[in-house]
Structures are given as C-alpha cells and as structure tokens.
C-alpha cells in the first residue's frame, strides 16, 4: 500500500521532518577501545559560528537507563566517563546547521586514560564465561548414556569441526536518526523503530517523564532487521537536547557512525560433533558455541539454543559461552542465533552426508523430528518433508553428480540446507473504526520497516469486515495508537492479524446491536452481517447507512490478542528447504551463486508478493553472509571497514533469480488467521547451503563465513 509513496519519495521518514527553529546535532565518537575520558576540550567547538550546545560526560544531557518490555535494557550515552569500545558516542554538538555541528565536532579534543583492551574473539576463547540464561547449555541423553562424549565414542560414524562467523552490521538503508520537539512538557519524536509504543516507553524512561507525555511517530522505517528494536542514541540525544535548548533538534548518524553507534551481530565460534549409525540415524549431536559480547555482556548470539529444534537424535548436548570484548554493542539481527547457528550445524550435516556417502536430503529426511528434542509438544503443523521433495524436484537435485560438474573454466556445485525459525506471537491490540462513508480505519502502533505489514492489515481487515480492501485505511507507526507490539522476532503478522479478527468480530457485534436497538432501523428484528451490510428478513443497509440513520459518524472497537493456551499444547515453527547452485572459477576461485531456491512451510501466506519479497531479501542476505559481509576489527578496536565501500554487500550483479515457493498449510493451531512468521527464516539455511555447494563444486570445505577467494586458493 505504501509502495507508491516510497518510490515517489513522498513517504516521510524520521529525518525528513523539518520543524521551525530546528537545530542539528552531530554525535562525537570515542577513538580508543577501553579507558576513561580524562578531559574534553570544547573551547574551539563552542566558538564555531552557529553552535548552540556542546555536551559530553563532563557536561551531560540528562538521561537515565531505559528499558523496553520486548528488547530489555538500553544503554544511554554521556552518563559516565567510561569508554568500552572504539566508536562509542561520547558527545553531541548542536548548531544551526548540520555542517556547523559537524565542523565543531571535528575540533573537539578528547584525552583518555587508556586501559588494555581485548578485541579478538579467537584470542579470548580461553577465558570465556558461561552465557547468562538457562536455555543455552543443556544435554538430553538416552537412558543409560552417561555423557555426550560416550555417545559420540559409541557412534560408528563421527564428523565435526570448528566453524566461525563474522561480525555483521544491519546496514539498513535508513541511518538511525531522530527529530525531537517539546511542547508544554510533551515530547514528539520522529524516528524509525520497530515499534512506536515501545519507543515511547523507552524515551519516557530515559527522560523521566510519564509515558503519556511522549509521542513517537514512525509510519515509515527504512529497514530495521533487529537494529531498530531499541531506541537509538540519535533519538535519546535529540530528545534530551531539545529539552534543554527548548527547540526542535535533528540528529542523523552518518553511515560510518551507524557501524559503531548502533549495534552489530557479534562474531561466533562453534564446535560441532555429530555421531551417526551407518544408515544415517543420528546418535549424538554436540554443539558448543562461543559468542563475542560487548564489555557490558548485554547480548550473546544464541547459536546453540535452537539446535534441539532441527533434528531427532538420541543424544544432544549444547553449550553457550560468551567472550566479553571491547567491541560495539551487539543486538538481535535477522534470525539471531539461527542464522550463524545453522551455518555450523547444516555444514556439519553435509559433512556427515559426505562421510556416509549418503544424499544430504535423504540424511535430513531420515532424522526429521515430530517435536523439539526434550519436548512432549508436537509441532502444530510441519511440512518440511514436502519442502525437501518439492524443492528437490524443482531444483533438479536428481541431476546432481557426486562431485559437482565442470562448465568450461567453471566448477559447478549444488548444496542445500534446512531452515527453521520459531513461530511466535506477541500481545497486540488493534482498533477498528467503521465510518459513515462505509470505510473502515484499522490502527495499531507497530511499525512497517519494509515488511508489508500495512498491506497485511488491510487484507486481513477487509476479509474480517467482509468489505473490499479499497475501503480499508490501515495506519501504523504512532505511539498514540493501541499497542501493536514489534516488527521483530517474526511476530507482527501473526500478532496483529489475530487482534484484527477479534476487533472485527466485536465491531460487527456492536453494529448489529445498534441496528436492532430501540428506535433503530431494525428495531427488534433478527439481524445478521455480511458483505459490509446489516441484513434482516428482506431488507439490508450498509454499516455506513446505518451509522447515518442513527446520527453517528463512526463506531469503534478494540481487539486484543496474545499467546495463550496453544502454548501448552503444541510447539510452533516455520520450516524450509533451501537450494543453491554455485559456480567457482577454476583459476580465480571467484564464487558466483548462479541459482537459488527456497521452499517454505510458514502457514498461511497473507500477501504473496510481499511474502516473496521478504523471504527473497532474507535469502539474498544469506548470500551476503556467506560470501561478502564481515566487519574487520583492528587490534585497537577500530572497525577497518565501517562504510559501504569496505563492508561488502551484494549488488544486483551478485544475485541471480531468487526462486521462492510456499507450500501453504494454514496453521490455525498457532493463531486464528493461520499465518506463522516469515521475516527471518529466509536467511537461515543460506550460508550453509552455499558452503555446501562450494564443497560440492571444489572439494574444499570452508568452515567460516564469509568465504573468500583466499580460502579456495589454498588448495
């Protein structure tokens, strides 16, 4: 629905707002990885023309620690002199123009008492700590088996290795930004996030004001992927500066600043051992993980916790450790845990298939599970087998030669992997307002960071109200709307659609009660509702006509939904099978992905076009993770490639046709609308599928991503 506004430039993102009297803030970043700020010399900055405020830990803006119900604690800047990473926000300069603010920021001299820093995950492994939380370290052993070591020792075939994944940045097209303005003690903030009401809660917390005094507005969000789950430093600083300066403030991070002043997906190291019988039956799975974590230990990439969801095995042991480093904050990034975790697990499964001389699809089918390991709750709806078989037929898997094939100077290989992502819902409330012109408004705070949620609202509301989509006005991205949860953890469609169905049933009830009430057009008659009309015997009226006849302009009802009893009855996940063909140049060892296919079982697909785009985006990101993306952290903590020249992302020339298929089996055990999440599953199996295809083409097993030319030259 918002496509036209976006491609014509009419969609107004946070930083597109310009208010009278507005000033511009520019953020100052640290240039050491660890230590204490001794002194900040702002003399020169204050004399730059147009500068109206310079803030640092010595002259701070008042902010308190903030928290959201979904994403937990959020660090707020300038509250102490500690530096925990290179590129940490340590100051803000505000001036009449962006250029003046930036010029002034460049003149600021910061001196530090530097302390030793640690920035390398591999060097920190020896001193790893247990990760907090319960679900990262556990084992499930068959009766009589003492340990996973015994189970592996008793397995006829054992494979394994150490796998590693790179530090990544979300690199959303829209840099984190905010425009903040106060009016009589009330704050309005325009800033892209994954949930407007969550942002209002966090800002209210940080600023020490009532939540009702904060109005967060973000109808358009230029990509998020977990990186806008929390409120950004730009928004905290803009809001606090706007308060003390008593004028609107705009703060926009530069592209380079986004890499350190927001958050990353931390690097991981994972050790996997698989034990199997000669026929491929898994006997033992061991998955030990180490995640880099920032110095405050605030986020661990949970690569082990979902291993229990992938396959049936007689014995499983996983562990999750973390290595605190002086690196930028870490946070959720598309399929946190599953994306890097499946690279390791699904590579190892491929290695097992090679060791057993077994087809990798046959091996996976043999170990298909009916429930997560250790749980009595069966999957509500699992059609992974159909994904494997449909995908194999569509991709031409049967023509796959044992050791790849050659096409001139190109070595061609095929690989595949399983994808999974848990299906979840969050509490959400939607308000439906029927209007006297026979249209309906559907509103919820939420966010549409390019996911198509706005369109989903209109489709589900049209269906629930039994009127054409052209008569529905969906609205999102405003904290004054009923709380809509987050566009994160692949939950938004399932959460809001279910709430729409509840709201629609309620408002239809209210219309019927109104129609048959005393003195109303259908006074005392038996009434029903269809096609946007109230029906009685041989008469009918549209709801708009009824509202006019009863002297009303509109009629509203709220509907809420939240996870409930179903959580005690079944396990819920989306599933997929992903197929990739790569071409590796015999001499240059350049890797090109030439074909890719994803077949997904994600319940009902509400908007096929947007769903395809969503999943294709995830698959493209998987190519990126496998072959392009990775932040290089120098020993002093500086990111060597924190810009879009050095941080490689695929362009159109890197991406062939992306083939996406949904095998549609609505999952009404999960929610009434039958849709499970699709936001994250697209990326999950891709890196392993590519690594497996590279092995098939070349015989070289690369156990880290991104895979580079150098990895393939070494043979």
Which residues are the active-site residues? 680
Instruction: Identify whether the C-beta of residue 303 lies closer than 8 Å to the C-beta of residue 268.
Output: yes
What's the closest the beta carbon of residue 226 comes to ligand MOS, in angstroms? Answer: 3
SS3 169: strand
- Whole-angstrom distance, CA of residue 230 vs CA of residue 206: 12
Instruction: Identify whether the C-beta of residue 575 lies closer than 8 Å to the C-beta of residue 670.
Output: no
What's the closest the beta carbon of residue 490 comes to ligand MOS, in angstroms? Answer: 7
Is the CB of 26 or the CB of 71 nearer to ligand MOS? 71
Is the CB of 447 or the CB of 697 nearer to ligand MOS? 447
Question: Token pair of 428, please?
Answer: 């959400």
- Whole-angstrom distance, CA of residue 129 vs CA of residue 289: 11
What's the closest the beta carbon of residue 488 comes to ligand MOS, in angstroms? Answer: 3
Question: Token pair of 705, please?
Answer: 């991503």
Is the CB of 387 or the CB of 683 nearer to ligand MOS? 683
What's the closest the beta carbon of residue 330 comes to ligand MOS, in angstroms? Answer: 12
Is the CB of 13 or the CB of 225 nearer to ligand MOS? 225
SS3 623: helix
DSSP designation for 266: P
What's the closest the beta carbon of residue 426 comes to ligand MOS, in angstroms? Answer: 10
Residue 431: left if φ>0, alpha if ψ -120 to 50, beta else—which one? beta
Name the site residues for ligand MOS (rule: CB under 6 A).
194, 224-226, 229, 332-334, 336, 488-489
Give the gyration radius of the chain's Cα atoms.
27
- Whole-angstrom distance, CA of residue 616 vs CA of residue 374: 33
What's the closest the beta carbon of residue 389 comes to ligand MOS, in angstroms? Answer: 30
What's the closest the beta carbon of residue 332 comes to ligand MOS, in angstroms? Answer: 4
SS3 38: strand
What's the closest the beta carbon of residue 277 comes to ligand MOS, in angstroms? Answer: 37
Burial 80-96 (b: 16+ CB within 10 A, else e): ebbbbbbbbbbbbbbbe
Is the CB of 334 or the CB of 425 nearer to ligand MOS? 334
Is the CB of 78 or the CB of 625 nearer to ligand MOS? 625
Is the CB of 78 or the CB of 333 nearer to ligand MOS? 333
Closest CA to 230 of 216, 249, 240, 243: 216
DSSP designation for 316: E
Q: For CA atoms 189, 194, 197, 203, give the dihedral sign.
A: negative
What's the closest the beta carbon of residue 361 comes to ligand MOS, in angstroms? Answer: 29
> Quick one: how far is CA 22 from the chain centroid?
32
**E strands, 405-512, in order:** 405-407, 410-422, 428-435, 440-443, 472-475
Q: From the CB of residue 65, how many other CB atoms can be counted at a distance below 10 Å?
A: 12
- Whole-angstrom distance, CA of residue 531 vs CA of residue 515: 15
Residue nearest to ligand MOS (CB): 226
Is the CB of 14 or the CB of 415 nearer to ligand MOS? 14
For residue 504, give every residue at least 6 positions away whose Cβ sits within 8 Å of its Cβ, in sequence order, or none: 432, 461, 464, 465, 559
Is the CB of 334 or the CB of 604 nearer to ligand MOS? 334
**What stretch of H or E contains 339?**
helix 338-356
- Whole-angstrom distance, CA of residue 526 vs CA of residue 522: 8
């Amino acid at each position: 629905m918002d496509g036209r506004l976006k491609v014509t430039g009419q969609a107004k993102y946070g930083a597109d707002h310009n208010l009278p009297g507005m000033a511009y803030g520019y953020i100052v970043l640290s240039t050491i990885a660890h230590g204490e700020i001794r002194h900040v010399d702002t003399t020169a900055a204050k004399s730059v023309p147009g500068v109206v405020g310079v803030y640092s830990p010595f002259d701070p803006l008042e902010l308190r620690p903030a928290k959201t119900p979904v994403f937990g604690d959020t660090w707020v800047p300038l509250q102490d002199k500690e530096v925990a990473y290179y590129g940490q926000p340590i100051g803000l300069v505000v001036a009449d123009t962006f250029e003046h603010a930036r010029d002034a920021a460049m003149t600021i001299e910061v001196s530090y008492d530097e302390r030793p820093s640690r920035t390398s995950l591999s060097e920190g492994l020896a001193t790893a700590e247990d990760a907090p939380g319960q679900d990262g370290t556990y084992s499930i052993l068959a009766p009589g088996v003492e340990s996973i070591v015994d189970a592996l020792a008793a397995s006829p075939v054992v494979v394994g290795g150490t796998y590693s994944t790179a530090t990544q940045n979300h690199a959303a097209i829209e840099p984190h930004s905010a425009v903040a303005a106060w009016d009589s003690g009330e704050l309005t903030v325009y800033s892209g996030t994954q949930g407007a009401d969550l942002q209002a809660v966090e800002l209210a917390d940080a600023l020490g004001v009532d939540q009702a005094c904060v109005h967060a507005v973000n109808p358009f969000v230029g990509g998020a992927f977990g990186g806008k789950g929390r409120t950004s430093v730009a928004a905290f600083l803009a809001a606090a500066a706007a308060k003390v300066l008593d004028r609107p403030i705009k703060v926009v991070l530069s592209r380079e600043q986004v890499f350190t002043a927001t958050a990353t997906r931390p690097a991981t190291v994972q050790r996997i051992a698989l034990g199997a019988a000669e026929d491929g039956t898994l006997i033992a799975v061991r998955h030990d993980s180490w995640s880099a974590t920032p110095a405050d230990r605030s986020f661990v990439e949970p690569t082990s916790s979902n291993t229990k969801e992938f396959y049936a095995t007689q014995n499983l042991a996983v562990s999750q450790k973390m290595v605190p480093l002086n690196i930028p904050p870490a946070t959720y990034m598309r399929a946190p845990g599953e994306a890097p975790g499946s690279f390791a697990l699904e590579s190892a499964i491929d290695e097992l298939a090679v060791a057993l001389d077994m087809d990798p699809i046959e091996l996976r089918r043999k170990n298909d599970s009916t429930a997560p390991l250790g749980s009595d709750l069966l999957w509500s709806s699992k059609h992974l087998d159909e994904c494997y078989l449909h995908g194999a037929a569509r991709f031409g898997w049967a023509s796959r030669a044992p050791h790849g094939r050659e096409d001139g100077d190109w070595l061609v290989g095929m690989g595949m992997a399983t994808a999974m992502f848990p299906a979840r819902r969050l509490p959400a409330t939607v308000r439906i307002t029927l209007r006297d012109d026979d249209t309906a408004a559907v509103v919820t705070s939420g966010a549409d960071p390019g996911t198509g949620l706005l369109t989903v609202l209109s489709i589900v509301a049209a269906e629930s109200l039994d009127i054409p989509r052209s008569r529905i006005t969906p609205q999102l991205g405003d904290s004054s709307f009923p709380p809509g949860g987050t566009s994160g953890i692949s939950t938004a469609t399932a959460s809001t659609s279910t709430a729409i169905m509840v709201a629609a049933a309620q408002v239809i009830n209210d219309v019927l009660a109104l129609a048959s009430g005393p003195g109303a057009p259908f006074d005392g008659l038996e009434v029903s509702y269809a096609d946007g009309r109230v029906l009685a015997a041989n008469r009918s009226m549209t709801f708009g006509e009824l509202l006019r006849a009863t002297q009303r302009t509109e009629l509203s009802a709220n509907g809420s939904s939240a996870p409930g009893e179903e959580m005690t009855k079944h396990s819920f996940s989306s599933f997929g099978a992903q197929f990739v063909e790569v071409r590796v140049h015999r001499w240059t060892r350049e890797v090109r992905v030439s074909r890719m296919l994803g077949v997904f079982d994600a319940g009902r697909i509400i908007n096929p076009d947007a769903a395809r785009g969503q999943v294709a985006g995830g698959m493209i990101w998987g190519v990126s993770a496998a072959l392009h993306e990775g932040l290089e952290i120098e020993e002093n903590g500086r990111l060597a490639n924190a810009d879009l020249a050095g941080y490689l992302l695929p362009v159109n020339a890197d991406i062939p046709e992306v083939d996406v298929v949904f095998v549609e089996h609505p999952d009404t055990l999960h929610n009434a609308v039958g849709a499970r999440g699709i936001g994250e599953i697209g990326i999950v199996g891709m890196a392993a599928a590519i690594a497996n295809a590279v092995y098939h083409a070349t015989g070289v097993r690369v156990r880290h991503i991104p895979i580079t030319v150098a990895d393939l030259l070494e043979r």
